[in-house]
Chain A
């Protein structure tokens, strides 16, 4: 797969972000190829979540440019970013606990009523959401809540999905379902930027990879190359694929 050669849908150029007095991103350069799954890896505190939040406008970039489909979206308000068909799944999942599963998905369908065929497609990956359709989302298990947060991002066709640590705390069987769901979205033409700590998961789903450290991207390339090069893994991530198997 010539992932590295694909045209970028999202490109960050020299992005700096400050949160209060703290300088978190120190000139992030990142290209997310159109129609591919890009994994954003790195240790805790490397700036991965800040990168996603900066793209969404939840924290404003203090310098640099964020190009989405050729347009600089740095400085746009969060709702305006979302209206470009960019969906965001935060690490906290951001589900509305007092609303039912149905109501959560209903709100996510911003453009109109829920599409029953698309819901059936989603239920194929996440059957628990069908079972608990009228339950309050706060009563779901952690894995089901994660499913719901991802389903909200899938309920209408989007161009770009930003997903923050989707596999965190999930059982292997649910992670398998997530992998199938992300691959199905890619097949639909959706571009995905996934923040992940679980290299095993990342290696199974990612086409391209970027590794962050200290608020910068220190490596970008094809995932297959990183999987094949254990020395590079050890240098960039301080681990090898074997240590996670």
Chain B
């Protein structure tokens, strides 16, 4: 028994591949196509579609970390929004400090400014996330009611700290010069920043998919979401996975906070709390613990919000909740339920 091979044995040939559940993915094109006759105008529909995708992908950035924290750690972190707010404020501070780069007409410098802001936001939010897990979350593992109370309390305290550090005023967050305005193709207006948000969201999703499906670390995270005890019984220290996932989830929320601040061009201390409702809707739609479900759920929420906001603005407040109700009627465990022990 001396020969080794990476994963697949040489003797296995022509075996059937695992079936994939494509139905939830079809919801996205179905929603997009259904919206076309409702919106009426093709250019408006295309503009709304891109705006919806951009919004959805920013929500995905923030929500993907929380769904893993839910799944792997069984922690109801109602304080996740604080990492969004922190990321937004660190982002706005960094962008302001790099005023020369953002005012420059050079696209590369503009992009570098956003990159630095996003990186700073992710590092600060990730570091605070580690402390938050150590101080606030760790004492209440396994105690759901206490988790809700303690993490909400932690969020209130952290919001006050942000108020003390950055002040109560809303802060404008100007997009860099070359990312302001829109491209116009055949009467379709596409905001430049939204295209960047789409590219960044898709890149992060691709990276997470690769990590979760193609690496041992990712497989361990997915296995830990299903049966944490068994992963430990196989000799892996889940505790370190917890800290890593919590830090990564917080860092992604921080990056999402910077992107959401740029999306709204305004940052307030309530930005995290504002997003929390959407985040929870997305991870419930997707199936708790499922990153793929979170991705589909975020796109559906972003698209539905933009379409309904245009077609029936008065209903828009309820659009995400309505979407969640309809999906849970179809799949009560969410689009991609994760099998738990």
Contacts and interface: CB of A to CB of B under 8 A. Distances in A.
Interface stretch (B203-211, B223-231, B259-267, B270-278): B223-231
Given A120-B9, A134-B15, A110 B236 contact: yes
A88 B234 CA distance: 8
Tell which of A82, A96, A112 has the most Cβ of chain B within 10 Å. A96
Interface stretch (B25-33, B51-59, B116-124, B214-222): B214-222
Interface in A87-139: 88, 90, 92, 94-100, 102-103, 106-108, 110, 112-121, 123, 130-136, 138-139
Contact of A98 (B5, B11, B237, B338): B338
Contact of B235 (A83, A116, A136): A83
Nearest to B225: A98
A214 interface: no
A136 B15 CA distance: 13
A78 interface: yes
B223 to A, nearest CB: 4
Contacts of B220: 107
Interface in B312-341: 338-339, 341
Interface in B1-60: 1-12, 15-19
Contact of A130 (B4, B11, B17, B231): B11
A135 to B, nearest CB: 5
Specify the main secondary structure of chain B where it touches its partner: loop
Contacts of B234: 82, 107-108, 110, 152
Contact of B222 (A88, A90, A98, A132): A98
B9 to A, nearest CB: 4
B115 to A, nearest CB: 34
A96 B222 contact: yes
B1 A114 contact: no
Interface size class of B (residues with CB under 8 A): 35 or more
Contact of B233 (A56, A99, A131): A56
A218 B230 CA distance: 30
B8 A102 contact: yes
Nearest to B338: A98
B232 interface: yes
A49 B4 CA distance: 35
A99 B341 CA distance: 13
A112 B6 CA distance: 9
A100 B18 contact: yes
B209 to A, nearest CB: 14
A129 to B, nearest CB: 10
A107 B7 contact: no
B235 A113 contact: no
Interface of B: 1-12, 15-19, 216, 219-220, 222-223, 226-227, 229-238, 338-339, 341
Interface of A: 56, 58, 77-79, 82-83, 88, 90, 92, 94-100, 102-103, 106-108, 110, 112-121, 123, 130-136, 138-139, 152
15 contacts: A78-B233, A98-B338, A102-B8, A107-B219, A108-B234, A115-B3, A115-B4, A115-B5, A116-B11, A117-B1, A119-B9, A130-B12, A131-B15, A133-B8, A138-B339
Top 8 A-B pairs, shortest CB-CB distance: A82-B235, A94-B230, A97-B339, A116-B9, A78-B232, A119-B9, A117-B1, A96-B223
Given A94-B230, A98-B339, A130-B12, 20 more contacts: A77-B232, A78-B229, A79-B232, A79-B238, A82-B235, A88-B233, A94-B233, A94-B341, A96-B227, A98-B226, A106-B7, A106-B216, A107-B236, A114-B9, A115-B2, A115-B4, A116-B11, A117-B2, A118-B1, A134-B18
